[in-house]
Structure formats: structure tokens, C-alpha cells
Structure 1
Amino acid sequence: MNPTETKRFNKLYQHHLRMLKLQGKAQKTIDAYARAVRRISAYFDCCPDQLTLEQREHYFSALVASHSWSTVKVDRNGLI
């Protein structure tokens, strides 16, 4: 990501973490959901809010092939 995109990602990421805390999520859940956001951002090298449905489907297809089903479910829930 370029510096502008990285700054935008960091702002959105911190907001996401705050919202999870306000929802009363456990710290382990927050950590897992945060990891999901970082993982998809690294995969596409962009903010996840800019991804199309097709890109997300491609990502999860690849994730199913490389990770456990429980990881896929946690990542899906972390990105909702």
C-alpha cells in the first residue's frame, strides 16, 4: 500500500478495534478478527473496504485451500 492508503487503513483498523470493544467482544475474539482484517489486506495490498464481492470470493476460496475451516469462519465473521 502507498503511504496514503496505509494511513487510511490504520485509521479504519483502529476504528474497527474500537467498535469490537464497544460490542463487548472478548480480547481473543478481537485479536482473531483483527488478524482477519490484516490477512485480507496483505493478500490484496489494499484496504478491505475497497474489495469487490468477486475479490472476496476469490480470497475465501484460496483461504479454504490453505487454512482450516474454523479459520475461514473466524475470518468471515471478522470481516462482516
Structure 2
Amino acid sequence: MAENSHNHGHTLAAWTGVTIAFIGFCVSAVFTVAAKPVGFWAGLVVVVLGGVVGMVMRGMGLGATPKTQKAGH
């Protein structure tokens, strides 16, 4: 069987970052409908926080490690 070299982001860092960002999008959506700009911007801050948390967790070794490319691939 061929070796699976792609994990498609199935790491703790990826799941955590995406979950936090998704919550931020939901918060922004609710406050958009409610016409509350402060809540909308707060939700976008949470989205950015999700990206930061994901990168920090990856730096801590909880994410995928970059693979070196083979010649010809």
C-alpha cells in the first residue's frame, strides 16, 4: 500500500485554529444581522486570533511539519 504523505490538515493545531476562526465568523454574522458594528469587529478579531493560535500551536510541534520536496515532484 502506498505511503500517505499528506495528512490534509488533520492536526490539533489545524482543528483548533479553524474552530476558533469559525466561532469568530459566527459571531460576526450574528452581529451583522443585529447591526452592531462593535460585535462584528470583535468577531473578526476572534477570526484572526484563530490563525494566530493555529500558528503558535504549529510552532509548539502540534501541527504538520513541512516536508522537503523530492526532485522531479
Which structure dedicates a bigger proportion of its chain to helix? Answer: 1
Query: What range describes the TM-score normalised by the shorter chain of this pair?
Result: 0.3 to 0.5
Q: Which of structures 1 and 2 has the bigger CA Rg?
A: 2
